[in-house]
Structure 1
């Protein structure tokens, strides 16, 4: 090691505080990049594992393939595995459950038994085509007791609708019209099968499915040219090109239908939707750019805040004959020493922080969501390499700039720091208004900041970056959550019960069943209202103008979903949206709540659009008519007038069990008393939430009332609630992580800045500044820093948020709203953190001797 590097090392050791603070800045930056990238990758990994645990793992599905096409699949796509599957239905004659009259045979090869979630309760899974494993719910629900070793002779076929001849699948409930079954079983084969095991009811079997799942076996070696099966392909290398490759293969080998597991592929960052892909890539690019800029600022500030001290050291080297190259190499060596220690520590700290966070929330996650999957720290080479490269590049820049500047000035100027300290009258000039309003302490504080412009700018830049980073991340995560809510089905219930034959009073009995935790009884009727063209939803108005729709006297016919709630449910709903329910009970003319906020998927653009359903306001009236029958194309339509309702409230919330209307319709809510006065014959619905939805469904089915239709959506609702919960954990974890990092950054920057001003503060105390005046000066410095940082940081944050909103706009269309709560939080916290950091640093200095502080060279 040459003498210059030895001197540099000694200087680092002597200036322990400055060296430690610089290292902390680098460690925080590296930890932030590592933690954020790891958090995102780990979150997507959890979603993928949760999806696989529930629905099985596959990426591409080819329908009805032959043995030759399967061989071509293995040869050309080189998959990790191919799951072969077939299905069919057989009548379960002994079943006492009128809603489930079938056995549903889902047959897999050995790979399918592994790739799809099947839990064996007793016995084993089938190993040849003459064996089956049956669901335990057959005995529990259908009262059919099959034992292991029993033989079943069944006729297997397809369910076909009697009305239009379409093939029905497991997602289609039993097709009925009143008490008449409107489907038939078309038999393809007859088989004798042996029961070899019992399985739990599969998670992928819908609660309303008409068949009990039976697992069978597909023998690959027994496939003939005339027999086709479905092929589920699991790829080892998942890339965006898989869509084109899969479709090209299907076209080449004459496969009629190919499907993709879009939800799982999306968790791997792969999607066929160009708008969604653009949204994903642009959002990731923006947030990573913000994080990289923030990390660059962190590391640069760690060096730049003490640049004057390093410049003096370089000036001393120059005075004893060091060349420009030696000085430059000395600075690079200093950066290399700091990097070699800080970068590994930062990476380990990032992983350790994420691991600790995951360990803390995993227990809550699994208990709240009833899931067996947990967040795991996923270490990717890209996150480590990215963190290292960014840190190395930033350290190089941070060390190169001061080295270049110091090499261009004389040794005397570098030692005196004339380039850093500005003592001209113009440079430190302040407004007379500052002294008049705040006193001489505020003026001294402002002059102190202007006197060393580089240190002041470095501290200010750190605050600005912290503001932009926090608000951008907050808006980014809010956009993710809003986008998820727009795409999810609006299921607020577990079970829906309806009937064309039973009256509302008769359906009320189902609200008293065991396990029911909450219920709503709704009567619904479809009507029509005529809306002036100026009041229709903006997207609809655009469609009308573009397509030149013919309007009746300048009005557009809206469909109306008029729903009445039972008294208890209406009171709860009215209070939820903030209106007085009693006002809706005593009105002579009907008073209604209108759901005026809707979201829908625009077919032309492929976007999820959020918009107003209708342009109206409280106090306006709507005339309701019966929906007219087809009049054979005559221009004049005779409408039967029903009533006029007054808009009592506008809301974006719907009652339990209901969904907002689509574009061109509105959703109107009234109490049951209003519907009774109108004497309208609506269709009754009962919506239930249950602590055990399957048990509640079994209780309903045990009544054997064929006039009742049951729709159980608890599984889908549970999955969506899990997704929102996981997303919320990710969001708040992300924001908390960023907040801690930014607070550490501000404390680090300000404490370093204060530490470098020891002699300056000692001088002020030596000439008579009192502790009260000193504290007053620090308070005003904190105020100046905060106001200046907010003045630059808030506009930059808003600009960044607009950019994020435009990126989301590739897939989702909703209005831009500023996150006022986050902005208010930032405004308050920036002053609290800056003030606290300054007061903390000053409190430590007050204990030091003035003479020693004036003499001190090293920090």
Structure 2
């Protein structure tokens, strides 16, 4: 170790407080970088586990693959395990007690299928040979049957087909009725004998509305005939973007009819075949890493800049005894290396520990709210560690470069005179006369102090600006990620949907609304109509979608007119701030227009959010009933009573260009129709329940066969789970950014105040009172805050614009500034600056004036 480095180490030891502040700043920065990297990998792993637990661990499905081509897929270098499945079909179930579930559904798979798919054994064992089956435990609980373990039974298995079209029907399609008669039939194909060897929980192939109880049969691929076609499902050994090209090649080689990817799992490997999604993902990663690095660099740079400022006399002494520019520059780099060697390991451990503590706190909440067995575990990968180390090291290098360059240019005379930081001219410290008139002499002195110490002033303002940018851009980023997630999720705001009602009265739906556990209900009559809309009221996206108007220059819109029961409508109108009395008493029939649509544009691959129609309150729409493809009958005008983007329970958005949703009450609908009966109408009862599955069972016991029940609890839970996970990520990340920002500000201001001990002692020596001194400090805080906001807000808005443009590769919706976050920032800046300066001043308040004037270092 050379003499200059030895002297640098001695200086670090002698100035323990400054060294400690610098180390803490770097530790916080490294901890943030590490926490973000570990949080990302841990969250990614958690979502993989949740998806595997619910949908199975597979990546590519080759539908209808010839049996003789299975070895080709099995022997492919990318295939790790191969699941072979086949839907045998349905059999009549004599023991069925529910009219909506009269079948047994037989699905067969090889041994790998029982391992890779979420088959939860409850009793007995898994099938191991042909003829052995595993039955859904609900068969024994819900029906009258003797299909216990060890039972052998013979059934005729066939295919469900629609009566009119002969179209095959699967487990996703419930039984449809008309006039209480099923609109399907079962076409038997083969007779099979099976032996029950175990029971299992409900599987992913059976929903609450599925018409058949699932039975899993063991499939031995060697028994398949050459002409048989099965579904081959591959788990690949190395998940990367080459999976798509390889799957296309294998499908062409084997003659598989279709390829299905496990997109919900692949996206958590960072693999997607959507180019727009890739652009969004990578551009957001770049923006996010730049934000983190800028915040870290600003924090560490200020620490090193202050260090060099304090060490200026020491560096000048080195220069006076012959130290070269290179030696002085390297002394700062050496200091950075020492600080990094201490801080980076501690910062990495602190980041990991912080994430572990966070997971320990939120895991019980996630498991309770999201109803999952999986936990967030700390996953530290070599890539995340190396990334944290490299980003931290580069950050320290960049942060120390400018101070090192400054140190190399410092001459001995400048250092001894201490003139490099304060260079005064009359123009430099000139202030407006208005400042003294409005705020007094203390404000003028405070402003002159800031101008006199321009470098420290700029460093502090820079720290504040960076903090503003960090908080607002990250807040905007996370809010928009949540918004994007919401756009991709089904807008499910109910638990159970009952359809199939014909002419219905309140007495007809009363038995369902009074079931135990039902917390809310809404009965909605949906009428499908059309409207002709003037071109000036049609948004551009609709024109692009529709391409050309009708002969009369107007555009044809499809209209969903929803009529809610009067009580539910009154409650909904109140939620959006509309009084129903005004609507009901009016002579003109009126409705509330849901004027926001979200749809997936297939041509661009983007999710787009836009207005449905350009209209205002009190304007009218002329509605027509639809008869056939072209014939329309005018029904009259309906007034738009309110515009909203809020949907009531049971109603989902139109989600298509050229379509709008109107919501009115049953009473106003009768007035509008004037006893006319529309051609296309549907009646639906929507229920919310404290226990949807139990309510579903109760409904099945009392409903007639022509009423269909659809339970969306599983889909709704998945949506809430995704939003919860995103909220955890969002607020955790904002907490980290807020911590780094506050630490940055506190470090910069407190150190700057400590350095100004001599200056403050001089002001007191010439007669400044404690009251005047506090007043000066308060005005300095205000000047810092205003200056930071003047620069920080416009730059933050520009960064938000960059994030918005990045997201537009995949999602299209209006740009909206986060006004609440901006208000929080404005308040927080003045609170943090003011409290930090008061804290720092309190520490030097009782110092002796003589000691302060003699003070040269911390």
What does residue range 215-226 of structure 1 map to in structure 2 within 5 Å?
Answer: 215-226=216-227
Q: Which residue number corresponds to residue 394 of structure 2?
A: 393
One of 669, 676, 683 as aligned partner of 1:675: 669
CA deviations over 1:653-695 (Å, ceiling 9, x no partner): 1221112223212211111111233335443210011222222
Residue pairs, 1:176-195, within 5 angstroms: 176-195=177-196
Q: Which runs of 4+ in 1 moved over 4 A?
A: none
- Residues 403 and 490 of structure 1: is their aligned pair in 2 closer, same or farther, counting only changes over 3 Å? closer
Give the deviation of 1:67 after TM superposition: 4.9
d(CA) in 2 for partners of 1:855, 1:219: 91
Match of 1:840 in 2: 839
Is the 1:33–1:383 Cα contact (8 Å) retained in structure 2? no
2:162–2:184 Cα contact (<8 Å) kept: yes
CA RMSD of aligned residues (A): 1.9
What's the CA shift string for 1:543-573, capped at 9, x where partnerless?
A: 45xx344332x32232221121112211210
Aligned: 1:498 with 2:499: yes
Structure 2 equivalent of residue 567 of structure 1 = 566
Partner residue, 1:615: 614
Decide which moves more: 411-420 or 362-371. Answer: 411-420
What does residue range 331-480 of structure 1 map to in structure 2 within 5 Å? 331-480=332-481
Partner of 1:634: none
Q: Write the distance in 2 (CA, Å) between the matches of 1:239 and 1:394.
A: 30
Which residue in 2 is equivalent to 1:640? 633
1:652 aligns with 2:641: no
Question: Matched residues in 2 for 1:617 and 1:302: separation?
Answer: 56
Structure 1 position 536, deviation (Å): 2.1
Could you tell me whether the CA contact under 8 Å between 2:100 and 2:708 is conserved in 1? no
1:650 CA displacement = 0.8
Q: Is the CA contact 1:141–1:698 (under 8 Å) kept in the aligned structure 2?
A: no
- Provide the rounded CA distance (Å) in 2 between the counterparts of 1:821 and 1:127: 61
In 1: Cα distance, 2:531 partner to 2:694 partner? 42
How much does 1:262 deviate?
A: 1.0
Cα distance in 1, alignment partners of residues 492 and 838 from structure 2: 52
Post-superposition offset of 1:163: 2.5
Distance 1:204 1:775, change over 3 A: farther
Distance 1:626-1:329 versus aligned 2 partners, 3 A rule: closer
- What is the SS of the residue equivalent to 1:582? helix
Partner of 2:768: 769
Contact 1:508 1:686 in 2 (8 A): no
Give deviations 1:100-154, integer Å, cap 9, x for gaps. 1111223222222121112222111111122111111112223324211111212
Q: Are positions 1:144 and 2:145 aligned together?
A: yes
**Helix, strand or coil: the match of 1:225?**
coil
Q: 2:317 is paired with a residue of what secondary structure?
A: helix
Deviation at 1:630, TM superposition (A): 4.1
The superposition leaves residues 438-491 of structure 1 with CA deviations (integer Å, 9 ceiling, x where unpaired) of 222222222222223222222111111111111111111111111111111121
Which residue number corresponds to residue 719 of structure 1?
718
Task: Tell me what 1:665 maps to.
Answer: 659
Q: Secondary structure at the match of 2:134?
A: strand
Please report how far the alpha carbon of residue 23 of structure 1 lies from its aligned counterpart in structure 2 after TM superposition.
Answer: 1.0
Contact 1:54 1:204 in 2 (8 A): no
Instruction: Choose which of 514, 535, 538 in structure 2 pairs with 1:536.
Output: 538
Match of 2:550 in 1: 550
Pairs within 5 Å for 1:519-534: 519-534=521-536
Preserved contact between residue 504 and residue 684 of structure 1 (Cα < 8 Å): no
Alignment of 1:44-55 (within 5 A): 44-55=44-55
1:618-657 Cα deviation digits (max 9, x unpaired): 11122222224346xxxxx6x4332322211111112211
Moved more, 302-311 or 816-825: 302-311
CA distance in 2: counterparts of 1:406 and 1:557, whole angstroms: 73
- 1:737-768, Cα deviation, whole Å (9 max, x unpaired): 21122112211221111122222222222222
Distance 1:405 1:555 in 2: 70
The change in CA–CA distance for 1:395 and 1:310 in structure 2 (over 3 A counts) is farther
- Structure 1 window deviating more from structure 2 (620-629 vs 220-229): it is 220-229
Distance 2:264 2:111 in 1: 24
1:474-489 equivalent positions in 2, closer than 5 A = 474-489=475-490
Judging changes above 3 Å, is the alpha-carbon distance between structure 1 residues 528 and 423 closer, same or farther for their aligned structure 2 residues?
same
Q: Is the 8 A contact 2:177 2:706 kept in 1?
A: no
Q: Provide the residue aligned with 1:63 in structure 2.
A: 63
Q: 1:325 to 1:617 in 2, by over 3 A?
A: closer
Task: Quote the residue 1:15 is aligned against.
Answer: 15
Once the two structures are superposed, residues 720-748 of structure 1 have per-residue CA deviations (whole angstroms, 9 ceiling, x without a partner) of 11111221222122212211221122112
| In 1, Cα distance between equivalents of 2:736 and 2:186 | 58
Matched, 1:512 2:514: yes
TM-superposed CA distance for 1:225, in Å, is: 2.6
What's the CA shift for 1:68?
4.4
Check the 8 A contact 1:62/1:259 in 2, yes or no. yes
Deviation at 1:425, TM superposition (A): 2.3
SS for the counterpart of 1:330 is helix
Paired residues of 2:41 and 2:384 also in contact (CA < 8 A): no
Instruction: Report the 3-state secondary structure (helix = DSSP H, G, I; strand = E; otherwise coil) of the residue aligned with 2:316.
Output: helix
| Equivalent position of 1:87 in the other structure | 87
Question: 5 Å matches for 1:234-313?
Answer: 234-313=235-314
Tell me how far 1:822 sits from its aligned partner.
0.7
Moved more, 165-174 or 678-687: 678-687
CA pair 63-203 structure 1, distance change in 2 beyond 3 A = closer
Residue by residue over 1:338-382, the C-alpha shift from the partner in whole angstroms, topping out at 9 and shown as x without a partner, is 110011111111111111111111111111121112222221222
* CA 1:77–1:173: 2 relative to 1, 3 Å: farther
Q: Distance in 1 between matches of 2:307 and 2:332?
A: 13
SS of the aligned residue for 2:702 comes to coil
1:132 equivalent in structure 2: 133
Distance 2:464 2:378 in 1: 30
Structure 1: which 5+ runs fail to align?
632-636
Q: Is the 8 A contact 1:91 1:101 kept in 2?
A: yes
* Whole-angstrom distance in 1 between the partners of 2:827 and 2:683: 52
Counterparts of 1:395 and 1:605, CA distance in 2: 42
2 CA distance for matches of 1:450 and 1:27? Answer: 32
Q: Secondary structure at the match of 1:168?
A: coil
Give the secondary structure class of the aligned counterpart of 1:72.
helix
Which residue of structure 2 aligns with residue 208 of structure 1?
209
Query: TM-score of the superposition, structure 2-length normalised?
Result: 0.96
Q: Deviations over 1:305-350 (max 9, x none)?
A: 3321122221111222323333233222211111100111111111
Deviations along 1:155-200, one digit per CA (max 9) or x if unpaired, are 3333233322332221111243333333333444322111111111
- The number of equivalent residue pairs is 850
Q: For residues 383 and 12 of structure 2, what CA distance do their matches in structure 1 show?
A: 32
Structure-1-length-normalised TM-score: 0.95
Compared with structure 1, are the counterparts of its residues 126 and 824 closer, same or farther at alpha carbon in structure 2 (3 Å cutoff)?
same
**Aligned residue in 1 for 2:586:** 587
List gaps (5 residues or longer) in structure 2. Answer: none
- Closer, same or farther: CA 32–611 of 1 in aligned 2, 3 Å: same
Query: Is the 1:97–1:704 contact (alpha carbons within 8 Å) kept by the matching residues of 2?
Result: no
Instruction: Give the conservation status (yes or no) of the 8 Å contact 2:160–2:186.
Output: yes
SS of corresponding position for 2:202: coil
CA distance change for structure 1 residues 201 and 706 in 2, over 3 Å: closer, same or farther? same
Mapped to 2, the partners of 1:606 and 1:848 lie a distance apart of: 67
CA distance in 2, matches of 1:300, 1:59: 46
Q: Where does residue 6 of structure 2 map in the other structure? A: 6
Partner Cα separation in structure 2 for residue 431 and residue 386 of structure 1: 50
Q: How far is the alpha carbon of 1:789 from its aligned partner?
A: 0.8
Secondary structure of residue in 2 paired with 1:837: helix
